[in-house]
Structure 1
Amino acid sequence: MLKNYFKIAFRNLWRHRVFSFINIMGLTVGMTACLLIFLYVRFELSYDRFHPKADRVYRVVADIKTPTETLPSQGPAWAVPGHIKFDFPEVEAFTRVAPENLLFRKGDIKFNEANSIWADSAFFQIFGFKLLKGDPRTALKEPFSVVMSASTAKKYFGKADPMGQTILITSEGSPATITGIMQDMPENTQVKGDVLVSMTTITTQYAKGIDDQWSNYSPWAYILLKPGTDAKTLEKKFPAFLEKWSGKEMKELQMFVTLKLEKLKEVYLYSSRGDSLGSIRNVYIFSIIALFILIIACINFINLTTARASERAKEVGIRKVAGAVRPQLARQFLGESIVICFIAFLLTLGLSALLLPSFNQLAGKTISTGIFHDGPLVALLLGTGIVIGLLAGIYPAFVLSSFKPIEVLKGRFATGNKGNILRKGLVISQFAISTALIIGTIIVYTQMSYMRNRELGFNKDQVLVVETKSEKKRGALQEAISRLPNIKTSALSASVPGSGHPGAYSEVENVKGDLQITNLDLYFVDFDYIPLYNFKMAAGRAFSREYKTDSGQAMILNEAAVRMLGYHSPDQAIGKKFKQWGHEGRIIGVIQDFHYKSLQTPIKPLSIRMNWDNTTLLSVKVNAANIQKTIASIEKEFKTIIPNRPFSYYFLDEFFDRQYRNEERFGRLFLNFAVLAIFISCLGLLGLASYATMQRTREIGIRKVMGASVSNIINLLSKDFLKLVIISFFIAAPVAWYFMHKWLADFAYRTSISWWIFAMAGVLAILIAVVTISVQAFRAAVANPVKSLRTE
C-alpha cells in the first residue's frame, strides 16, 4: 500500500509538472531563506557561549556621574579589578583587556597588528581560548611576554618553532619573548585578538603606578566569580567598596562612579557600551522574517494544492466508489505533501550550500563553513520539512478527501464558500506581510541614504590619514609630504572624525562665573587641523601661529559644550577660563557642531587643544588627480624618514563610513529576505488566480462568445485579487509604521516616515500583484472558448 501511495504521488507530480515545479520552488526558496536566517540567528546568539566558565564571567562597567551628565564607560578605572579581587572572596580571578594597534618587528618583517591586546595573566583562566603551546597560568605573567595566534606566529616565524624567540614591540623596539601560541580566536567572540601582550608590561614598564589610579578609565575588565556567587548581591557591595578606596577623590573631582556587572554571554547582544557589538533587536527582526517566510511558504502550498482540487476530484470519486475510505485518501494526499517537502528539502540543502559563501559575505562574517558539516542542522532541516509537509498538507488533504463521489463523477463539485474565504484570507496575510516588508525596506534605505548624505559639518573628501604612532620624526615627515606635488595641506592630530578620542576631566567657567566640573571629549590638534577639515567658526578664532599662548593655554569648544555651560550664544563663551589635565587658559573660539561620531549618537560637548606630543595621525589633503601616484610618493617619504614602521594609511571618507557598516549589512539582508518573501507571495497569488480561472472556465467561454475582449476578461479576473491586495495594504501600513518607528528611535539623527513611503509601497504591491495575476488571466482570456465550454 505504501509503495502504491508513492507511485501515485510521483506520477501525479510528473503529470502536472508546472504546478509541481511552482509548489516545490516555493517551498525550496522558503526553506532556504529560513535556514540561512536560522544560521545567522544561531551564530549571533552563540557569541562567547563557548567559554567553559562563561556562566561565571562578568564584564565590569561604570557609570560616571558629573554635575552635568552621566557618562557610560566600557570599563572601570585601572585600579578597580585588582582591588575587587583583593576585597571580595567571591571573585576567583580578574583580567583587564586593552585593545591596541601595536607595531611588531622580526628582522625585516614588520606589521602594525591592529588586533593586539594587553591582557592580565588570568586571561586564559577566565576565557576558554585554547593555548596550543605554553602554560596558560604563566604565559602572560612576566613583562614583555607575548602570546600569538597560530596564523600570526606563522607570519613572523614561518615553520620554525616560535616558543622562546624574541620579537621587537612598539615603536621603541622593546624586545619581547614568545611565551605561548594559541589557536586562532573564533569569529563569535567580542574579545578578539591575534596577539596578546602581558599587562605587566604596561603596569611595571610604561605606566608605573597605574594599578592605583581610580580616575583613569581605559581597559575593559572581566571577573570570574566563584561557583554559587550571586552577581546582583556582589554588585550591591560596590558602592561601599568605592567609598572606601576613592570616596575622597570622587568628592574632590565631583565625579561619582557606579559599578555594574554585565554577563559575558549578554555583552555582545544586549550591551550598549562599545563598538562592533550586535543587536538583539536585529536578531528578533530576522527571526520574525524567517517565521513570516515559512508561513508564506505554507500558505503558498495550501493555495497551489487546493487550486488543483478540480483536477483531482474525479480521481477521488473513483477511489471512493472502489471502496477507499476518507482516512486512506487523507493519508494519500498527506503522503504527496511529504514527498513534495522531501524533494524541497534536498533542493534546499543544495541551494543553501551554493548560497552560503555569498551569504557569509553579505552578513560580513563567517556564520557557517558548510551545511553538510553540521549533522544536527541537516537533521533539523529534514524534520522541519516533514512537519511543514504535515501541517501544510492537512487542509488540502481534508478538502480533497471530503468530495462526494456522486457529485464529482457527474462533474458537479465545489469546495464551498468557507474554503474560498480561507484562501482569500491566506492571500491577504501573504501580501500584508510582503507589503510590510516593502515599507520596512524603503524606510531602512531612506535612513541609510539620510546618514550618508547628511551635512556633517566638515569636509572628509580627498583626506588621506597616515598613522605615525607618535614617531619622533613625524614633524619631519609632515614637512617632506607638504612639499610633494598634489598635496594641498596637512595637519597632525590625535583624532580624526570617526576615530577614538579621550574624555577629559575638565573645569570650565560657566554662565554663572563658576568653574563647572565636566567631562569633555578632547581632540589634540595642530595649527593646520581646523582649516584642513574646513570646520566653521561660530565665534572667536581658530588656533594661530601669531599667538604663542595658543600652544598650551588656549581651548576651542563646540556649540554643544557652550550650551551645556549655560551660554545663550557662542560669543558669550569667548575669553572664559578652563582647567584641563594640568593646563590652564582661556577659550579663544567656538566651532559649529560637527558629527565626529556616528549619527546614531547625538553630538556631545567637545574641547579642542594643541598638544604636539600627543599627535599620532597625519591628515593629508590631496588633489583628486593621480591619487595612486600621490600615495606612492607619500609612502616613499614615509619609508625614508620612518623606516622601522610599516606604511599604513586610510581615506577618511571610507573610514568614517565604516561606522554604518552594521546598518548597511542589516539593510542588505532585510532587502534580500523581503524580495524572497514577495517572490513566494507571488507564487501563492498565482495559485489562487489559477484556481479562480478554473472555477470560471465556462463563464469565460460564454463571455468571449458574447463578444468580451481580452482586456475585459483580464479585468474581470483581476479586480477581485486587487481588492485583496488593497485590504492587505491597509493592514500592513499601520503595523509597519509602528515597528519601523521603533527601529528609527535608535538613531539620534533620523529621517521622518513620510506619506510617500506608504504610497510607493502600495503602488509596488499592486504592480507586483497585477503582473502576477495577468500571467494567468491572459492565458484564460486568449483560450479557445469552444474548449472552455466543453469543460462542462
Structure 2
Amino acid sequence: MLGNYLKITLRSLWRNKLFSVVTIAGLALSMAVGVGLVSGIKDNFDTDHFHPYLDRTYRIITDATTPEGQTSWATTPEPIASAIRKMSAVEKLVQVRQGGPVRVLSEKGEQLIDVTFTEPSFFNVFGFTLSAGNAEAALSSPNTVLLSQSTAFQLFGGNDPMNRSIQLDGLGVFTVAGIIREPPLRTHLPLKAVLSLQTARSLEKTGALPVTSATWSDYKTTATYALLRSTADAASFRLSLSKFNHQVQANNHSQSLTFWAQPIDDITPWNPAIRNDFHAGMNWSGINTNLFLILALTVLAAFNYTSLSLARSLSRAKEVGIRKANGALRNQIFGQFLTESTLIALLALGIALIVWYNVANSGWLPQAFRKPTFFNAQLIGWLLLYVVLTGIVAGAIPAGLLSRFQPVQVLRNLQTMRLFRHVGFYRVLIVIQFAVTTMLMVFVVILQDTQSQTSNRLQRIIPPDVVLLSLRDEPAATLKHQIEQLSQVKNVSLTNQVPVYQAMEQCTLRVAGTTSPKNLSAKRIDPNYVPVFNLTMRAGRNLPSDMSATNEQFILINEATARLLPGHTPETAVGQLITLDSTMVRIAGVVVDPAEQLGPPQATVYRYLPEKATLLAIQTRPGQAGVVADACRRIWQQNVQDRLPDVSIYDQKITADMQGGFGQVNAFFRFFCMLVMLVACLGILGISAYAVDVRTREISLRRIVGASHSEIIWIVSKTFLQLLFWAGLFGVPAGWFCGKLLRDRMYNTVDLGPTNLAIGFGLVLLVGSLTILSQTIRTVWMNPVKSLRSE
C-alpha cells in the first residue's frame, strides 16, 4: 500500500513540475529557518550536558529575604565555601567569580574580554579541557591566565599564544599559561579569560577589585558549585544546606540568607526568578516563541500547498472520482494525499538542511548559530517529527475535501472547490498570507522610518566636536587641567552622563506647600555642561561659574520637572526654592532636554556635584576631535599607567550605539518579512500560473473575438489583484497596531501616519503584482488557433 502511494505521488510530482517546484521551494525556505530554530531549542536543552558528573553536580542558590520581599540569586557569598566543604556529602567544591568585561591590550591591539576567576578544582568538576598548558599550575599562580581558543585567536591571530603576555586593564600583566578547548555544547559558564581565585583576592588588597572574599553581604558576584560523592547523597546534602542560614546587614537593613541546591541540568531552561543567571539560555517563554515562529512559518508555507491543491481540484477531483469508481475507499484517498504532502515536506527538509548549513557557516549569523548539529540522532528525530507535522498541516485540508467527493458528482462536472459563497478557499489562504506579509512590511517601514528620524534628530542635537573620556574612578583634577592646556580644546565639563541618554540616578523632590515627595532623575554636571553640549535654555540662565563645589546652591531642571511644580510654568519656575533629598536649592534655569526628543519626557534635575563625576566631556575646536582624542589617550597613559584609556568621540559613539540597537532589530524583521513575502509570492505564482493554464480556452476565444492584450491580462489578473487589496484591508491595520506598540515604548519618534502605511502596503502590492503579471502576461503569446485545435 505505502509503495503504491509513493509511486502515485512521484508520478503526480513529475507531471506537475511547476506545482512541485513552488511547493517544495516554499516549504524549504520556511523549513530552513525552522531547522535553525529547532536546532537552537535542542542546543538550549543540551546546555552543560558535556560535563562528566552531570547527575551529581549542584549549584548553590541564595535566597535573600529583606523587608521588601525575597529574591533568589545564582550566586552566593564567598565565605560559604568553608562551611560546604565540611559537609560529608561533598566530594569537591569550586567557586567561580565573574570579573565582567575587561579591556585587554595584546599584540593585536585593544579588545574587550570577559574575565573569570576560579580554582584548580574547576577542571575536575566540569568537562572543560585544555589543548595546551596545565590547569593546576595556571590556577595556582597569581600571574598567569588561561584563554579560550576563540579568545586566543581574537588576541593573537594564528600565532602561538603560549607564554605571551597580555595586559588586563586595571588588573595587571599576565602570561598565557594554557588554552581552553571550545566546549562541544552550550554552557552556562562561557570562558574567555580565566584567572586564579587567589589572584582576585590579591587584587582586592590593592583596590583593583571590590572586596567580596570575606564579605557575607556580597552574594551577587561568585557562583558556588558542589560535586557530591554519589547521587544518593543529594537528599542529605539538600537537608544540610537548608539548615544553614546567615544574617547580614546591607543598605541599612537586615537580610536573611538561606541556601538551596540546584542541579546544573536544571539551570536550562532559564528560570527568570533566579537573578544573575546571565548565560542560562532561553526560558520557556523564549522556547514557546521559537515554537510559534516555527509553526507560523510552516503554516504560511503549507498554505501554498493547500491553495495550489485546491486550485488544481478539477484535475485531482477527476483522479479521485476514477479511483473511487474503481473501488478505492475514502481513507485510502486520504492517505494518498497525506503521503504526497509528507513526501514533499521530506524533500523540502533535505533542501532546507543544505540551505541552513551553508547560511549558518557563512559568517552571516552570530557565532552561537554557526554550529548546527545535524547528525545528532535526537535532532534528526525532532526534524522527522517536524516533517510529519508539516505534511499533515499542508495536506490535511486538501486530503479531507478531495477524499470526500462522490464519483458521480465529480465525473459529471466540477470546476473547483468553492466555499464561502463562491469564494474559493485558496483565495482565503492567499489573503491570509499577504495580510501577514503586509503587516510585517508596514512594521518594517515604520521601524526604518523611526531609525531614520532618530538619526536625523541626533544629527541636530549632538555637537560634532566633543570628546568623551571616562574617568574610571580616577581623580579628575590632574587630567582635566592637562587637557584644558591643549590648544585644540575650547572647554571641559565634568559630568556622569551625556544629554541624549535619560538619567539613571534618582533623587527626591520636595516643594514647599506640598506633602508628598516626588521621585526625579538626576544628572551630575558643572557650569561648562551647557556650552560643551550646546544645550538651549528654555528659561533662566546657566549655573553660576563661581559655585562652591561643597555647598550645592543652584540647579537646572528640564521642562518635565517644571511641570511637576504646582502652579508653575518653565518661566515662573526659575528662582523657586525646592528641596532635593535633604538639600534646599534654587532653580537657576530650565534647559531644553535633548533626551525628550528621543523618548518619553522624564523629569530630570541637573546638579552640580563635581566630586561624583565619572566622565570628562571635552569641547574641541572644529575638526579637531580626533587630534584631541589621541592627546587624551597620551595624557591618560602618562598619569594612569596600570589602566587603559576609554576615549570616544561623542557623535560617533552615539551613532554607533543607535545603529547597533536599531540595526539588529531592523535586520531581524527585514529578514522575517522578506521570507514571508517570498513564500507568499511563491504561492500566488503557482496559482496564477495554474489559472492561466486552466483558462486557456476562454483566453483563446476572447482573443479571436477581438480582445486586446491589455484586456486579456486584466481579465486574468484582476481576481488576484483584488485578493491583494483584501490582504491590505486586514494587514495595514495590523501593521499600524504593531507600530503603535512600538510608539508606546519609544514615544514621538515613531510615525504612524498614512505615508508609512501606504509605502508598506505599496511595496507588497508592487511585488505581488509583478509576481502575478509574470504569469498572466504569458497570455499575450498564446496562439488561439493552436489552443482551440482540439476543440
- Taking the aligned partners of 1:442 and 1:271, their CA distance within structure 2 comes to 38
Q: Distance in 1 between matches of 2:28 and 2:290?
A: 18
> How far does residue 320 in structure 1 lie from its aligned partner after superposition?
7.3
1:429 matched to 2:432? yes
Taking the TM superposition and a 5 Å limit, the aligned residue runs for 1:440-455 are: 440-454=443-457
Aligned equivalents of 1:603, 1:398: Cα separation in 2? 59
Between 422-431 and 128-137, report the one with greater CA deviation. 128-137
| Alignment pair present for 1:384 and 2:382 | no
Does the Cα contact within 8 Å between 1:539 and 1:590 map onto a contact in 2?
A: yes
Give matches, 1:717-736, under 5 Å: 717-736=716-735
Paired residue for 1:649, among 639, 647, 650?
Answer: 647
SS in 1 for 2:113: strand
2:436 is aligned with 1:438: no
1:625-704 superposed matches below 5 A: 649-656=647-654, 657-658=656-657, 661-704=660-703
**What percent identity do the matched residue pairs reach?**
22
The amino acid of 1:414's aligned partner reads Q
Following superposition, the deviation at residue 25 of structure 1 comes to: 1.8
1:511 corresponds in structure 2 to 512
Does 2:778 align with 1:775?
no
Range with bigger deviation, 629-638 or 349-358:
629-638
The answer on whether the counterparts of 1:561 and 1:605 sit within 8 Å (CA) in structure 2 is yes
Q: CA deviation at 1:355?
A: 2.0
Q: By how many angstroms is 1:533 displaced? A: 1.5
* Distance across 1 between alignment mates of 2:774 and 2:165: 73
Match of 2:231 in 1: none
State the shift of 1:744 in Å: 4.5
Would the alpha carbon gap of residues 738 and 382 (structure 1) be closer, same or farther in structure 2, given more than 3 Å must change? same
Cα pair 1:540 1:574 within 8 Å, conserved: no
Query: Out of 301, 319, 324, which is 2:305 matched to?
Result: 301
Whether the aligned pair in 2 keeps the contact of 1:145 and 1:177 (CA below 8 Å) is: yes
Aligned to 1:114: 112
CA contact (8 A) 2:43 2:186 kept: no
| Aligned mates of 2:773, 2:645 — CA distance in 1 | 61
Between the two proteins, the alignment pairs up a number of residues equal to: 756
- Equivalent in 456, 463, 467 of residue 466 of structure 2: 463
Q: Deviations over 1:186-239 (max 9, x none)?
A: 9875977535574534654428996699999996566779967999xx99x99x
Name whichever of 714-723 and 181-190 sits farther off: 181-190
Distance change (3 Å), C-alpha of 1:700 and 1:178: closer
What code does the residue aligned with 2:727 have?
S
Q: CA deviation at 1:668?
A: 1.3
Structure 1 position 549, deviation (Å) = 1.9
Q: Matched residues in 2 for 1:725 and 1:301: separation?
A: 19
* AA aligned opposite 1:715: W
Asked if the contact 1:48–1:189 (Cα under 8 Å) also holds between the matched residues in 2, the reply is: yes
- Kept in 2: contact 1:575–1:588 (CA 8 A): yes
Gaps of 5+ in 1: none
Going from structure 1 to structure 2, the CA distance change for 1:600 and 1:534 (only over 3 Å counts) comes to closer
Q: 1:323 & 1:60 partners in 2: Cα distance?
A: 70
Provide, for residues 65-85 of structure 1, a one-character-per-residue CA deviation record: whole Å limited to 9, x for no partner: 8xxxx9x99999x9x946999
* Residues 606 and 442 of structure 1: CA distance in aligned 2, closer, same or farther (over 3 Å): same
Quote the Cα distance in structure 1 between the aligned partners of 2:561 and 2:126: 44
Contact 2:692/2:779 (CA < 8 Å) preserved in 1?
yes
Cα contact 2:37–2:294 (8 A) shared by 1: yes
In structure 2, how many angstroms separate the alpha carbons of the residues matched to 1:8 and 1:606? 77
Q: TM-score, normalised by structure 2?
A: 0.73
Structure 2 match to 1:369? 371
Work out the CA distance in 2 between the residues paired with 1:662 and 1:745.
Answer: 18
> Residue in 2 aligned with 1:101?
102
TM-score by length of 1: 0.73
* Contact map agreement 1:316 1:400 (CA 8 A) in 2: yes
* Superposition CA RMSD, Å: 5.9
Contact kept, 8 Å, 1:542 with 1:588, in 2: the verdict is: no
Q: Which amino acid aligns with 1:200?
A: R
Asked whether the 8 Å contact 1:434–1:678 carries over to 2, the reply is: yes
Q: Which moved more, 1:758-767 or 1:52-61?
A: 52-61
Matches of 2:502 and 2:189, distance apart in 1: 18
2:32 is aligned to: 32
Of 323, 336, 349, the residue aligned with 2:353 is: 349
In the TM superposition, what are the counterparts of 1:549-588 in structure 2 within 5 Å? 549-550=548-549, 553=552, 556-559=555-558, 568=568, 571=573, 586=585
Residues 456 and 594 of structure 1 are in contact (CA less than 8 Å); yes or no, is this contact kept in structure 2? no
C-alpha distance in 2 between matches for 1:521 and 1:527: 15
Q: State whether residues 22 and 683 of structure 1, in contact with CA within 8 Å, keep that contact through their aligned partners in structure 2.
A: yes
* CA spacing shift, 1:711–1:578, aligned 2, 3 Å: closer
Answer whether contact 1:293 1:677 (CA < 8 A) is retained: yes
Deviation string for 1:317-375 (max 9, x for gaps)? 777788877766666655554443333222222222222246x645x553232464655
**1:601-620 aligned within 5 A:** 603=602, 605-611=604-610, 615=614, 617=616, 619=618
The verdict on how the C-alpha distance between 1:600 and 1:274 changes in structure 2, with shifts beyond 3 A counting, is: farther
Q: Distance in 2 between matches of 1:276 and 1:658?
A: 23
Aligned partners of 1:209 and 1:388: how far apart in 2? 55
Distance 1:257 1:607, change over 3 A: farther
Quick one: distance in 1 between partners of 2:156 and 2:65? Answer: 38
Distance 1:501 1:336 in 2: 61
Alignment partners' CA distance in 1, 2:2 and 2:587: 90
Contact 1:81 1:221 in 2 (8 A): yes
Instruction: Give the residue type in structure 2 aligned to 1:350.
Output: I
Q: CA, structure 1 residues 45+332, in 2 after alignment: closer, same or farther (shift >3 Å)?
A: closer
Q: Distance in 2 between matches of 1:123 and 1:590?
A: 60
Q: Tell me, yes or no, if the aligned pair for 1:494 and 1:501 is still in contact at 8 Å.
A: no
Letter of the 1:438 counterpart: M
Which stretch shifts more, 736-745 or 210-219? 210-219
Contact kept, 8 Å, 1:104 with 1:113, in 2: the verdict is yes
1:227-626, aligned counterparts within 5 Å? 245=249, 249-250=252-253, 287-308=291-312, 310=314, 334-357=338-361, 361=364, 364-370=366-372, 372=374, 376-396=378-398, 412-418=413-419, 421-454=424-457, 459-467=462-470, 469=472, 475=478, 479=482, 483=486, 489-491=491-493, 493-496=495-498, 503=505, 510-511=511-512, 521-523=522-524, 528-538=528-538, 541-542=541-542, 547=546, 549-550=548-549, 553=552, 556-559=555-558, 568=568, 571=573, 586=585, 589-590=588-589, 592=591, 594=593, 603=602, 605-611=604-610, 615=614, 617=616, 619=618, 621=620, 623-624=622-623
Q: Which moved more, 1:761-770 or 1:129-138?
A: 129-138
Larger CA deviation: 672-681 vs 10-19: 10-19
Q: Which amino acid aligns with 2:369?
A: I
2:651 alignment partner AA: D
Contact 2:434 2:727 in 1 (8 A): yes
Whole-Å separation in 1 of the counterparts to 2:500 and 2:282: 21
1:523-575 deviation digits (Å, cap 9, x = unpaired): 3x56644422223345665456x526247646645436666787945645666
CA distance in 1, matches of 2:500, 2:124: 32
Contact 2:438 2:761 (8 Å CA) reproduced: yes
Shift of the 722–259 alpha-carbon distance from structure 1 to 2, 3 Å rule, reads farther
Q: 1:245 aligns to what SS in structure 2?
A: strand
**Counterpart amino acid of 2:24?**
I
Name the counterpart of 2:750.
Answer: 751
Alignment check: 8 A CA contact 2:116 2:193 kept: no
Superposed displacement of residue 300, structure 1 = 0.6
Aligned in 2, Cα 1:674/1:563: closer, same or farther, shift over 3 Å? same
- Identify if the C-alpha distance between structure 1 residues 483 and 197 changes in structure 2 by more than 3 Å, giving closer, same or farther: farther
Q: Is the 8 A contact 1:292 1:433 kept in 2?
A: no
Q: Which amino acid is 1:296 matched to?
A: L
TM-aligned CA deviation for residue 97 of structure 1? 4.2
Contact kept, 8 Å, 1:57 with 1:264, in 2: the verdict is no
Deviations 1:608-645 (A, max 9, x none): 435368546564546348x7777666666766776765
| Distance (Å, rounded) in 1 between the aligned partners of 2:595 and 2:579 | 25
Does the Cα contact within 8 Å between 1:345 and 1:385 map onto a contact in 2? yes
Q: d(CA) in 1 for partners of 2:289 and 2:562?
A: 40
Distance 1:170 1:707, change over 3 A: closer
How far apart, CA to CA, are the structure 1 residues paired with 2:71 and 2:314? 67
